[in-house]
Amino acid sequence: MTNNDHSKQVLIASGVNALLGVWLVISPLVYLYPLENLESVWSGVLVGMLIALIGIWRSRSPRENAVLSWVNIALGSFIALAPWIFDNLDGAPLWNNLFVGIVVVVFATWSGRATVVTRRQANA
């Protein structure tokens, strides 16, 4: 694989994560989270904004800032575990957080790995 192929991998993975971050921001409106779940709503909105911003930042500099992928891995893990951390989500919001969190972790890992492989090729 060439360096350009790895840059495309970062662009795709980070772009998907940016979209998933936007989804986390709007999903409380789609699922009409109950008002008693405000901490879950705000954590999802804030973490979603961070995931989206990091995804955009990574896609703008695919050969740098691989550490941002690790940040998205942590944020995705938090979102996946949030229903149990806050102990107040069930049904669609629970599955939404779990699914989105896992997918963010997978794509952030794929993005970060691409940068590491590109750096190894450049140093070889």
Report pLDDT digits (tens) over 4-30: 568 899 899 999 999 999 999 999 989
List, as own/partner pairs, every contact residues 29-36 make where C-beta atoms lie below 8 angstroms and the sequence separation is at least 24, other chains included. 31/92, 31/93, 31/96, 33/89, 33/93, 36/88
pLDDT higher at 15 or 62: 15
Tell me the pLDDT band of 91, cut-offs 50, 70 and 90: confident
Quote the pLDDT of residue 123: 60
pLDDT at 76 over 60: yes
pTM: 0.87
Give the Å distances, CA to CA, from 95 to 11, 29, 52. 26, 15, 20
Fold classification of 3-123 (topology level): Four Helix Bundle (Hemerythrin (Met), subunit A) (1.20.120)
List Cβ neighbours of 66 (8 Å cut-off, separation of 6 or more).
Answer: 111, 112, 115, 116, 119
Quote the pLDDT of residue 2: 47
pLDDT higher at 71 or 5: 71
Quote the pLDDT of residue 120: 58
Report the chain's mean pLDDT, rounded to a whole number: 86
- Looking at this protein, which amino acid is placed at residue 82? A
- Contact indicator for 29, 81 with CB cutoff of 8 Å: no
* In the chain, domain spans: 3-123
